[in-house]
Structure 1
Amino acid sequence: MKLDAQAWRKRRGIARILTALDSASGHVRYVGGAVRDDLLGLPISDIDLATSFHPDDVVRRLEKARIKAVPTGIAHGTITAVADGQPVEITTLRSDVSTDGRRATVAFSDDWPADAARRDFTINALYADPETGEISDYFGGLDDLEARRVRFIGDPLTRIAEDHLRILRFFRFHARFGFGEPDSEGLAACTARANDLMALSRERIADELIKILGIEDPTPTVALMIERGILKPVIPEIVSAASLAKLVASEKDSGIEPDALRRLAALLPRDPVIAADVAARLKLSNKARKRLAAAAAGELGENPRSLAYWIGQESAIDRLLLAARSEEAHGLAAWTVPRLPISGGQLIKRGVTEGPLVARTLKAIERAWVTEGFPDGEKWESIVSEQVGSAKGG
């Protein structure tokens, strides 16, 4: 296996960066997810480079080539090079000196196998020579890639002790790349150390969970995580994947794109208070918290369009899909929510007295308009005339 080195070099900004780092000398290689995905025939997004040059030398070389160098993770040897508008992360080879499961202290080196040994999974520890495309594989990653097997490098318990987030990453990578049952040693280690997740920030947990739920069908993986008690220490409210399975089916039936936050709502009890509490613990945005709470409320009413008007189109679609009403969700997704075609100023011109009465009349018109199905023409004028007359008569 090898990469098409010339095709990679044609990517925006790459040739300039490789030249600045003297790629012909063997001091720099492609590494990580881009190499893995290319070998699997998947689209490549971000490209990362590993180098034996010290971070200071990397910066010096980039600046000499007039390439912007941003010290995005300088303590861990990471420099982001921006060439022709394209950012590329360049990280100096390193080994862990100490780690507490959340962060590590590293030492820089020129030892490629040592750098590979500190990575999480064998399929993520593949390096490619930018001149020839030849792959450097120190831990059997190519065989695991061919078998679609996600396997920790070395002892799984040691890798998890270095970074507890690797528990969730193990399941995410299996859901995305794995075939069949997960690696038994890795699964056993993750099960044994699930409580270690409690030491992580909830933001990191939320980020990884959202990535898992964004996979095409994460149901089997999530069900396995629940069975093994992986989520119990941090989100004990998640006890079943049954609703998730139904939602995934509804999304497919409706033709609506999968949505990780909606899928999280499916895993939570239909209780807005609980949903909001979980969202707060995970440090989700205010918008995400409101959306989860709205989805958990569950009420649908008789008219999906009215629901969309009052709570928002996105939240209404969430509720419909969670209720397995995929056909209605599909129709609602293609509908444009209208705006109330009258303002307070226009009511005043029609003779409604300025002040609170204008707001009350406007609200009465809005309720009637939505209830009647957003009519226009004579029906709309009838609603306005009736409410204005009532306001003036009162």
Structure 2
Amino acid sequence: MKLPNADWQERRGLPELLAALDGRARYVGGAVRDSLLGVDVKDVDIATPLLPDDVMARLKAVDITVVPTGIDHGTLTAVLPDGPIEITTLRRDVSTDGRRATVAFSDDWREDAARRDFTINALFADPDTLEIYDYFGGLTDLETQRIRFIGSPDARIAEDHLRILRYFRFLARFGLTSMDQEAYQACRSAAEKLPQLSRERIADELMKLLAVNDPSYAVQQMIGADIFAHILSEIDPDTEQILARLIQREQAHAIPPIATRRLIALLPKNTEKVATITKDLRFSKKLQKALQSRLAAPTDELAAVNATSVPALAYHHGEEATRDIALLFAADTDLAASLATLEGWQKPEFPLKGGDLISMGMEPGPAVSETLAKIEQAWIKQGFLNEEHVYNLAKQALERDKITRKI
């Protein structure tokens, strides 16, 4: 079998790169797999028996910028006009501990393929002839839609425990609804090893899984295998139902999937618990803030999201967060109207400042900001009425302030 022609093979600078490697290179992994599946290719990886220092020298000689991104493990990144390409020297594992591997360089293509995770990721292709090299039945597994570890699943997982999560991510990515039972049992048996991984690696893999088109089946199987018990301190007991409903709504309204939104379906609907979980997983502060904003409203308000309450939510949390809140929490009868309210929504500007209250006769001090906040809340609650109405609210507040001071 041959690799089909694809646009990524025409990237600027790629012919020069391959020429510099003097015919001792093959495409490998995702680019080969996805091209065979007819899926758009994002990342291009190249394998070579040439040693890293030799590769670097050859690329620099033809003016290709190269970065030693993982040189200890044989990986360099060539910076081309149409995107980076990773080049890795063939390797074999010397030792592994489930978190990291010590490798030795090799010139044996099959030996390199044997250390990879799944058969479908161990496919090589010759850049000149496009001939496919398949050492472990990956082509058959692609055809039959099967995610299968190379050799013993237990051995592959023992080399790197992250392969447990990668198994379920690939299951989700290809929309599969059946599993290789040997692989599943190996993942289940080794799940207790997951806490040995860095929290960043776990979080990254989890978010990649949640970003695929429909991870429902994979998440369901992960729950059944107690995978989440070892990577999250707590999940929502109704995760399966919440996630399934969310995905159905996204698809019905042609809204692209977002991992952050799906993560909320997994997590308990409690801001304190979410804060603890996300800090433990070393999520970025930006992501932590995004999660908090989508759960900031009281539970009863989230359960009553509708077209009337959406503008106030959008004012406080932004359009994107409010759309997620509606998709997650609005009743079926209120969802369409809630989403429609957000179309073209722009945050109104509160027309009153503290200085306005002072110029109207209010004494400077803490009461100014407190009064301003109360007026703003009334303005929001009454539907962002016009400036004249806001000033009427301010006059009423000032009258109350005068009465209070007299008392």
Instruction: State if a TM-score over 0.5 links the two structures.
Output: yes
State whether residues 149 and 177 of structure 1, in contact with CA within 8 Å, keep that contact through their aligned partners in structure 2: no
> When the two structures are aligned, how many residues end up with a matched partner?
391
Q: Distance in 2 between matches of 1:324 and 1:183?
A: 37
State whether residues 352 and 390 of structure 2, in contact with CA within 8 Å, keep that contact through their aligned partners in structure 1: no
Question: 1:18 is matched with which residue?
Answer: 18
C-alpha displacement of 1:218: 0.9
Q: Say whether residues 1:144 and 2:154 are aligned partners.
A: no
Question: 1:313 is matched with which residue?
Answer: 319
Question: 1:362 is matched with which residue?
Answer: 372
**Cα distance change, pair 243–8 in 1 and its aligned pair in 2 (3 A):** closer
Correspondence for 1:331 among 328, 340, 345: 340
Structure 1: gaps (5+ residues):
none
C-alpha displacement of 1:85: 5.9
Question: 1:48 is matched with which residue?
Answer: 45
Query: 1:170-213 CA distances to partner (integer Å, 9 max, x unpaired)?
Result: 11101112534111111111111111112111111111111111
State whether residues 5 and 130 of structure 1, in contact with CA within 8 Å, keep that contact through their aligned partners in structure 2: no
C-alpha displacement of 1:96: 0.5
Q: Distance in 2 between matches of 1:36 and 1:6?
A: 12
Question: 2:203 is matched with which residue?
Answer: 206
Deviates more, 1:146-155 or 1:291-300: 291-300
Q: Distance in 2 between matches of 1:157 and 1:196?
A: 12
State whether residues 247 and 324 of structure 1, in contact with CA within 8 Å, keep that contact through their aligned partners in structure 2: no
Query: 1:122-153 CA distances to partner (integer Å, 9 max, x unpaired)?
Result: 11111111112111111111111111111101
Deviates more, 1:159-168 or 1:243-252: 243-252
Deviates more, 1:213-222 or 1:296-305: 296-305
Q: Aligned to 2:79, what secondary structure does the other structure show?
A: strand
Deviates more, 1:269-278 or 1:249-258: 249-258
Question: 1:72 is matched with which residue?
Answer: 69
Q: Any residues of structure 2 matched to 1:160-175 within 5 Å, and which?
A: 160-175=157-172
The residue type equivalent to 2:251 in the other structure is: K
C-alpha displacement of 1:280: 1.6
Deviates more, 1:222-231 or 1:3-12: 3-12
**Cα distance change, pair 288–11 in 1 and its aligned pair in 2 (3 A):** same
Question: 1:247 is matched with which residue?
Answer: 246
Q: Aligned to 1:215, what secondary structure does the other structure show?
A: coil
Q: Any residues of structure 2 matched to 1:146-225 within 5 Å, and which?
A: 146-177=143-174, 179-225=176-222
Query: 1:38-67 CA distances to partner (integer Å, 9 max, x unpaired)?
Result: 111111111111111100000000110111
Structure 2: gaps (5+ residues):
none
Q: Distance in 2 between matches of 1:367 and 1:6?
A: 56
Q: Any residues of structure 2 matched to 1:84-123 within 5 Å, and which?
A: 84=81, 86-123=83-120
Correspondence for 1:83 among 74, 80, 83: 80
Deviates more, 1:174-183 or 1:219-228: 174-183
Question: 1:261 is matched with which residue?
Answer: 260
Q: Any residues of structure 2 matched to 1:268-287 within 5 Å, and which?
A: 268-287=267-286
CA RMSD of aligned residues (A): 2.3
Q: Distance in 2 between matches of 1:149 and 1:40?
A: 13
Q: Aligned to 1:182, what secondary structure does the other structure show?
A: coil
Query: 1:331-363 CA distances to partner (integer Å, 9 max, x unpaired)?
Result: 344222223233334544555444434323422
C-alpha displacement of 1:312: 3.7
The residue type equivalent to 1:10 in the other structure is: E
**Cα distance change, pair 83–319 in 1 and its aligned pair in 2 (3 A):** closer
**Cα distance change, pair 290–234 in 1 and its aligned pair in 2 (3 A):** same
State whether residues 29 and 51 of structure 1, in contact with CA within 8 Å, keep that contact through their aligned partners in structure 2: yes
**Cα distance change, pair 12–385 in 1 and its aligned pair in 2 (3 A):** farther
Q: Distance in 1 between matches of 2:280 and 2:243?
A: 21
The residue type equivalent to 1:272 in the other structure is: T
Q: Distance in 2 between matches of 1:157 and 1:269?
A: 32
Query: 1:108-128 CA distances to partner (integer Å, 9 max, x unpaired)?
Result: 111100010000001111111
C-alpha displacement of 1:290: 3.5
State whether residues 128 and 134 of structure 1, in contact with CA within 8 Å, keep that contact through their aligned partners in structure 2: yes
What TM-score results when the alignment is normalised by the length of structure 2? Answer: 0.89
State whether residues 219 and 244 of structure 1, in contact with CA within 8 Å, keep that contact through their aligned partners in structure 2: yes
Identity of aligned residues (%): 51
